[in-house]
Each structure stands twice: as C-alpha cells, then as structure tokens.
Amino acid sequence: MRLTLFLAAALLPAAALAQPPASVAAPTPERQKEIVHLVRQDCGSCHGMNFGGGLGPSLKPEALRDKPVESLVATIYGGRPGTPMPPWHRFLSESEAEWVVERLLQGFPAE
C-alpha cells in the first residue's frame, strides 16, 4: 500500500500536486448508477429532480459554489438538525457523499 502511494506520488506531475486536495476515489460504475438514481429520485423529492429546489434548497452548482465542500458533505452524511434534511449515512459512505458533492458542483449526471 505504502509502495503504491509512493509510486503514485512519484508519478504525479508537479502541476497536479498544486491542485486542491485530490478527488475521492470514484465509486464503481455500477455503484455510481445507483447513487445517481438515489440522488435524482430520492433527494429530488425535496430538492427537485433537476435540483432547482423544493421544500429543500436548490442543489444547482451556482447555489452550492460558495459553500464549503466539507459542510456540504457533512450535511448529506449527518443531516441538518432543525430542518427536514435527514442523515443519509445508512445509504452513502462519507466518500460517496463527497463524490455526490463534487458531481453536484460540476452539474449532476443524468440517469
């Protein structure tokens, strides 16, 4: 494992190291499909299937851009007490929640 990390670091060009923290490991393509379905359909019941908002706020890139990524991940994973936002940790790992946030910021994939 350490060897792989070392190799990966050695192979990364200097430019990549200057980037913000590297992306989380992407879920497998099959799992991505499940997550996209979950987010579009089940998050969509409050945030809108196209994320324009509903009882929950908009999840479009322009609505999320000025919010810290960690707090968005924490909101998905742990919910937001005092609001209807429930915790999704039974259905998504923390790194999957992070993947969802990254995708939302880029414009979420279609099903």
Partner 1 sequence: MRKILALLSVVLLSACATQPQVRGTGDLGLVIERASGHVTLIDTSKRAPYARIAGLGDLSHASAVYSRDGRYAYIFGRDGGLTKIDLLEARIVKRVIQSGNAIGGSISQDGRIVVAQNYTPGGIKAFDADTLELLSEVPAEYAPGKFAKVVGLADLTGNRFGYALFEGGEIRITDFSDPRRPTTQRFPAGNQPYDGLVTPDGRHYMAGLFGEDGIALLDTWKPEAGARKILEKYGRGEEKLPVFKMPHLRGWAVAQGKAYLPAIGRHEVLVVDTDNWREVGRIKLRGQPVFVMARPDGRQIWVNYAFPDNSWVEVIDTLTGQVVQSLQPGKAILHMEFTPRGEHVWLSARDDNKVLIYDTGSFAKVGEFAAQAPSGIFFTSRANRTGF
Candidate list 12, 52, 67, 109; residue touching partner 1; CB under 8 A: 52
Any contact of residue 87 with partner 1 (CB under 8 A)?
yes
Query: Judged by CB, which is closer to partner 1: 45, or 71?
Result: 45
- From residue 109, give the alpha-carbon distance in Å to each of 19, 93, 104: 23, 19, 8
Span interacting with partner 1, options 7-15, 61-69, 78-86, 98-106, rule CB under 8 A: 78-86
- Give the sign of the dihedral formed by CA 17, CA 20, CA 25, CA 28: negative
Q: Which residues of 59-76 are buried (b: 16+ CB within 10 A; e: fewer)?
A: bbeeebeeeeeeebbbbb
Q: Considering the rule CB under 8 A, would residue 84 count as an interface residue with partner 1? A: yes
53 binds partner 1 (CB under 8 A): yes
Q: Find the angle CA(105)-CA(73)-CA(106) to the nearest 5 degrees.
A: 10
Sequence letter at residue 21? P
Please report whether residue 42 would count as binding partner 1 according to CB under 8 A: yes
> Which positions touch partner 1 (CB under 8 A)?
37, 41-42, 44-46, 48-50, 52-55, 79, 82, 84, 86-87, 90-91, 111
